[in-house]
Amino acid sequence: MSCCAPGAEMALALERVTPVLPSNQEVKLASRSLGDDLHQTDLSVPTVHCGACIQTIETALEKLDRLEDARVNLSTKRVSIRWRGNEAPPFVAALERLGYPAHLFEPEIDEKDKTLSELIRAVAVAGFAAGNIMLLSVSVWSGAEGATRDLFHWISALIAIPALAFAGGIYFRSAWNALRHGRMNMDVPIAVGVSLAYAMSLYETINHGDHAYFDASVSLLFFLLIGRTLDHVMRERARTAVNGLSRLAARGAMVMRDDGTRDYRPVGEIEPGMQLLIAAGERIPVDGKIIRGSSDLDCSLVSGESVPRTVASGEAVQAGILNLTGPLTVEATAAAKDSFLAEMVRLMEAAEGGRAHYRRIADRVSALYAPVVHLTAFVTFLGWMVAIGDWHRAMTIAIAVLIITCPCALGLAVPIVQVVAARRLFEAGVMVKDGSAMERLAAIDVAVFDKTGTLTLGEPRLVNASSIDPTMLAIAADIAAHSRHPLSKAIANFAGFAGQPELEAVSEHPGFGIEATAAGSTWRLGRRGWAGWKARTGGESRYGGTVLTKDGIIVASFVFEDALRADARAAIEQLNNARVSAQMLSGDTAAACGEVAAALGIHHFVPALLPSGKVEHIETLAKDGHKVLMVGDGLNDTPALSAAHVSIAPATAADVGRKAADFVFLRESLSAVPLALDVSRKAGRLIRQNIAIAIIYNAVAVPIAISGNVTPLIAAIAMSASSLLVIGNALRLASFATNAPETVGRRGNRSAIGALARSS
């Protein structure tokens, strides 16, 4: 299968998330009937990116039974599948095996960006009109006179009308809305300047004047629309990319009724008191209490605990937890709107209130800009009226002042730098959701990290494989392949050795391990106290928590470590060198946190924190005057991501966490954090330089315009020159060397820590 790098990186990010495939009931619920027993299911496959991907997917899916056809749309990364029968073919599992994780397509998430489409059309119309009017103006400047000059002016007036009506409508609507509500914004001087320039030009044309300024008014719109489009792209690009990643939340569950019948219900219809059947590999959809069964649970997404938790009847469970090994019957104790997930969303919304008060640099400048420009132009008009009494001359000079001070350079100063910076980060595997995020990131002095899934990859790794007999390792791998437990998955990766006996029967004992028979012997893989009931005398001390036994005799022991993200220690050092203090907040145990902190050189950490505790710690830092960066991935980190001054999440984070974060990094390396900081600080310096250029330009140009030595046409040329100047300055960011190394691709070099993820 031929694939290019960006898709491979995205696939890698998705591989690290524990795959939770939608059940047949979920697929059937999301499918639509086409009649004659024919159904259609639409899947979103974010990792599709080339022609080879399309051929691979369509060829593989069409081999499935009862599947009529499958079509891949590369532009929307969507697969449409038509199938027959009462049960959906296993096409989601087939895609998973091919390396294309899929989730059910959601129209509201994949909806086209209508605002961007409108802006692009407006830029095209304004650019076309400005180019044609400028050609006609060149003819006038070259000496066209009399009827020829008037004809060119009239043609220019007609070309300008649709440009002002369609492209200018974006500004006119905004300006009118502001004035109607008794306030000013930067669109008001633009609308006034463009309207007056067109009206004055039309007056000159009707009265056979020598000069008209249609080119000035339309060119002004063209440059301003470029800046607005860049700003919008900056805000929306990463948001749509993040929404394309896999969904983790359960859509529903199998409900057991009082008469013993079973019925699949969407999560919104699950009520307290209902009994839910949760199979191994499914996420728990709502908060509840286990009434039957025992299993191991992956709580890392919810609590940050790196080691799976063993549960049995009577214990409480929360929405979002992944059931690993055994079937459970859970009695719902809360509706979806009252679950742990809903509480995280409410905490996040409350935390976002504080961050909403932040005002971007451009917003702060524009608060003074609009009234100053209008006052200057009005005073200029009054001054010339008093001086010479010629309203035509006074109005021409006032229009020139409005045009020459129009915020083209200021409008481009911020978004052009942010777009170049976002491009730089995107190439390094970091997506930016909002331009203001880079401004906030540049100001941080404290970086707070979650542990599991952020500083570490959240997946155990077998580290003593070389010391285990290859045959025993192969047998353990065969046994482990029958379980979804994280430790079993780590062992199963070592399958492939020849010579091991064939397994005859395999059964899993949730909370203990797996038992199998082969060639008349009983093999157990799991906790030492359960598997090795005939452990050798005096030998127990050197065995780890997970062992392989043959007829009760321990034949191999396994030691696991949680791998750090690539360059994690280097990233912490780079932050310290950038005068940013690194801290760690985690819901995991003090021992696990202490070992990670020691390995990374983090001097301050707080273990065993609830989600609200993380928020309180960040709020305390903020009250002390610190600007806090939060880096986290779990559902329990979501409120903290919103409470921080700025936030970053890996692509493997919970869906709600990715939405709450300002940045998302797609690769394993944690060097994405200092890289984003470095680029943001450089971008901040360029933004301030661009604003200084715009201010200096106005300081020089405005007095000349007020003195009457600038026509509206020259004002438009000067305004365009200042815009090109700030664009050129912004493009320098692409050539700057960063102090942080580029994030590594693919797997990178994993560092390891001594935090053992042993079963105990």
Contact 163, 125 (CB under 8 A): yes
Average pLDDT over residues 384-396: 85
Place of tokens 């509201």: 108
Looking at 18-143, which runs of residues are DSSP E strands?
32-35, 38-44, 67-73, 78-84, 103-104
Helix (H/G/I), strand (E/B), else coil: 8? helix
Domain 252-348 bears CATH identifier 2.70.150.10: yes
Rg (CA), the chain: 32
pLDDT of amino acid 330: 93
β partners of residue 44 = 78, 103
Residue matched to tokens 């649709």: 162
Rounded Cα gap, residues 26 and 542, in angstroms: 47
- Which residues, including other chains, have CB under 8 Å from residue 422's CB and lie 6 or more apart? 234, 237, 238, 431, 432, 435, 438
- DSSP states along 20-39: -PPPHHHHHHH-EEEETTEE
Burial letters 498-519, b for 16+ CB under 10 A, else e:
eebbebeebebbbbbbbbbebe
pLDDT tens-place string over residues 530-569:
887 654 433 343 334 789 999 889 999 998 877 788 789 9
Span 51-79, average pLDDT? 77
> For 420-458+565-680+741-746, which CATH superfamily applies?
HAD superfamily/HAD-like (3.40.50.1000)
> How confident is residue 583, by pLDDT bands cut at 50, 70 and 90?
very high
CB 325, CB 484: distance < 8 Å: yes
| pLDDT given for residue 445 in this prediction | 94
> What stretch of H or E contains 456?
strand 456-462
Cα separations (Å) of 678 from 21, 375, 425, 439, 742? Answer: 39, 40, 10, 12, 11
- Cα–Cα distance measured from residue 328 to residue 313, given in angstroms and rounded to the nearest whole number: 9
Q: What is the pLDDT of residue 749?
A: 34
Of the two residues 8 and 250, the one the predictor is more confident about is 250
> Hey, which residues does 526 pair with through a beta bridge?
513, 547
CATH superfamily of 464-558: Calcium-transporting ATPase, cytoplasmic domain N (3.40.1110.10)
Average pLDDT of the chain is 76
Q: Which residue has the tokens 């560092």?
A: 751
Helix (H) or strand (E) holding 459: strand 456-462
Strand ranges across the sheet with 322-323: 309-311, 295-298, 322-323
Q: Does residue 213 contact residue 164 with C-beta atoms inside 8 Å? A: no
Please give the backbone phi and psi of residue 525, each rounded to the nearest 5 degrees, phi first. Answer: -125, 115
Q: In which band, very low, low, confident or very high, does the pLDDT at 158 lie, cut at 50, 70 and 90?
A: very high
Pairing of strands 78-84, 32-35: unpaired
Q: Tell me, which fold does domain 5-111 have in CATH?
A: Alpha-Beta Plaits (3.30.70)
- How far is the C-alpha of 83 from the C-alpha of 70, rounded, in Å? 9
CA–CA separation, 324 vs 192, rounded Å? 64
Domain extents in the chain? 5-111, 114-241+357-419+691-730, 252-348, 420-458+565-680+741-746, 464-558
Q: What is the DSSP letter of 578?
A: T
Looking at residue 349, the DSSP 8-state letter turns out to be H
Q: Which of 105-119, 219-233, 308-322, 573-587 has the highest mean pLDDT?
A: 573-587
Q: Compute the distance between CA of residue 730 and CA of residue 409 in angstroms, rounded to an integer.
A: 11
Q: d(Cα 45, Cα 104) in Å, to the nearest integer?
A: 9
pLDDT tier for residue 626 given thresholds of 50, 70 and 90:
very high
Beta pairing partners, 298: 322
Q: What is the mean pLDDT of residues 153-173?
A: 88
DSSP 309: E
Express each pLDDT in 198-229 by its tens digit.
888 888 888 887 777 787 778 778 877 876 78
Mean pLDDT score, 337-344: 63
In degrees, rounded to 5, the angle at the alpha carbon of residue 395 between the alpha carbons of residues 717 and 222 is 35
Between residues 628 and 474, which one has the greater pLDDT? Answer: 628
In the numeric block, which tokens belong to residue 366?
Answer: 């524009």
For residue 734, the 8-state DSSP code is G
* Per-residue pLDDT at 573: 94
Give first-to-last CA distance, the chain, whole Å.
42
Q: What CA–CA distances, in Å, run from 43 to 65, 237, 655? A: 18, 21, 17
User: With 50 as the cut, is the pLDDT of residue 241 above it?
Assistant: no
Instruction: For residue 433, count CB atoms less than 10 angstroms from its CB and return exposed for 0-12, middle for 13-18, buried for 19 or more.
Output: buried
Residues labelled as active-site residues: 450
Q: Which residues in 267-402 belong to E strands, given as ranges?
A: 275-278, 288-292, 295-298, 309-311, 316-317, 322-323, 328-332
The label of the residue with tokens 């542990």 reads 451
Burial degree of 40 (CB within 10 A; 0-12, 13-18, 19+):
middle
